Structure 1
Amino acid sequence: MRLSVIDHPLVAHKLTALRDASTDSPTFRRLADELVTLLAYEATRDVSVEPHPVTTPVAPTTGVRLTSPKPIVVPILRAGLGMLDGMVRLLPTAEVGFLGMIRDETTLQATTYANRLPDDLSGRQCYVLDPMLATGGTLVAAVNYLLDRGAVDVTAICLLAAPEGIEVVRAAFDQHAHVTVVTAAVDERLDEQGYIVPGLGDAGDRLYGVV
């Protein structure tokens, strides 16, 4: 497992605004969208491409294009939906699947309640969108779900991560070189309720309100 913490002034600036308890939902959604695009730029550094001939107004040359099968973007419902636009803005030709997972607030274990993904992901690069890597249970379950269906490379994009969650993911995929976590910051710890400290609160509630 590889971990990439993006050290960039604009990333830190937008993350600071997201943390602010006074930031309202519309502003939070816009900032999350912008931050995801910045993270996605780094997360897609190893996206699979192939040579592609092209003719410019001056002369023929060779560039690159995404290989087939195209990458698939997988937001974890519901909070991951708030990251989708920022990701597909950078990868507009990627396919999009959905994975519904819920964490039991007592056991902190994640279970799958819905999916909209191909049964066969052989040869696919997958980008998982989940704002908070807290206990790590949801992300481990999601990555295993994709790997079990044949995905060859899984990159998780998280706005924030906790050390405890990183260690859980690392333990689960320590020998898997093609699992990567990309995040804007690693915070101090988890609290007794499994929330990241200092964190930014419940990302789903801040994106969409409490329902």
Structure 2
Amino acid sequence: MTAHSNAPPSAAAPSVVVLDHPLVQHKLTRLRQATTSTAGFRRLTRELSLLMAYEATRDLPLETVDIDTPLERTQGHLLSGKKLCLVSILRAGNGILDGMLDLVPAARVGHIGLFRDPTTLEPIEYYMKLPDDIGERVCIVVDPMLATGHSAAAAIDRLKTAGARQIVFVCLLAAPEGVAHLAAAHPDVKIVTCAIDRELDDHGYIRPGLGDAGDRLFGTK
């Protein structure tokens, strides 16, 4: 899968990766459509999460091991060390989490519960549960939308306080404002997304976007 950074100038950062694979763009377009059913939205999100996980795990360390094939002894490569922790920003992050666990079922899982104050748009935490050894793992934080960037930055603040040192943020869609905010708050965190859309509206929704990802995933609206 090829990937490139094509963030607009206001959000440009070397750690922003936009996936340009044809399958990613095809599935994202289907995901955006208002006519896509709840079941279809879940399926497409799961499929996209597998493709995004490919890029998010690109830099995982490997170690050389000796193995026996049916024909001879040779050397191969396995993931090294404690590997991964997938951290879902509740509730919508679980739509991406499920697909990534299909690819890396041995990963540890953390959850951070945040909701956005409808007036200030600031994040308010109501839940957090993380593995004890999170400082020894690469953390992949998942949330479908990077809108204002405040929730993502707040979640990563909490992860770093808990000891996390290597963090990647993965989302389906981002707004330039969110990319800029997260890059400024945490310049060491790579952002992986399928697209950077035009802008945020007055209510903090990404335009053209895909609506409220949580409502579409869980059929609550």
User: Into which bin does the TM-score normalised by the smaller protein fall?
Assistant: over 0.9
CA RMSD in angstroms comes to 1.3
Letter in 2 for 1:75: S
Mapped pair 1:188 → 2:201: no
Letter in 2 for 1:134: A
Corresponding residue number in structure 2 for 1:166: 179
Letter in 1 for 2:203: Q
Letter in 2 for 1:7: D
CA shift, 1:67, in A, is: 2.0
CA shift, 1:62, in A, is: 1.7
Contact 1:124 1:150 in 2 (8 A): no
Mapped pair 1:41 → 2:49: no
Corresponding residue number in structure 2 for 1:201: 211
1:128 to 136, 141, 152: 141
Letter in 2 for 1:80: G
Give the gaps of 5 or more residues in structure 2: 1-12
Q: Distance in 2 between matches of 1:124 and 1:25?
A: 33
Q: Distance in 2 between matches of 1:121 and 1:207?
A: 28
Question: Greater shift after overlay, 12-21 or 63-72?
Answer: 63-72
1:146 alignment partner, SS class: helix
1:128-182 per-residue CA deviation (whole Å, 9 max, x = no partner) reads: 11000000001001111112222121111100000000000111123x2xx1110
Q: Given the two structures, how large is their TM-score scaled by the length of structure 1?
A: 0.94
Q: Distance in 1 between matches of 2:80 and 2:54?
A: 18
Q: Distance in 2 between matches of 1:149 and 1:115?
A: 10
Q: Distance in 2 between matches of 1:135 and 1:194?
A: 7
| Percent sequence identity over aligned pairs | 52
Give the gaps of 5 or more residues in structure 1: none
2:31 to 18, 34, 38: 18
CA shift, 1:119, in A, is: 4.5
Q: Distance in 2 between matches of 1:63 and 1:143?
A: 34
CA shift, 1:70, in A, is: 2.6
Contact 1:120 1:149 in 2 (8 A): no
Mapped pair 1:100 → 2:113: yes
1:59 to 47, 58, 72: 72
CA shift, 1:120, in A, is: 4.6
1:54-85 per-residue CA deviation (whole Å, 9 max, x = no partner) reads: 11111112212222223100111100111112
Q: Distance in 1 between matches of 2:52 and 2:133?
A: 27
1:22 alignment partner, SS class: coil
Q: Distance in 1 between matches of 2:205 and 2:213?
A: 10
Q: Distance in 1 between matches of 2:185 and 2:83?
A: 26
Q: Distance in 1 between matches of 2:132 and 2:73?
A: 40
Aligned residues: 208
2:202 alignment partner, SS class: coil
Corresponding residue number in structure 1 for 2:42: 29
Mapped pair 1:142 → 2:142: no
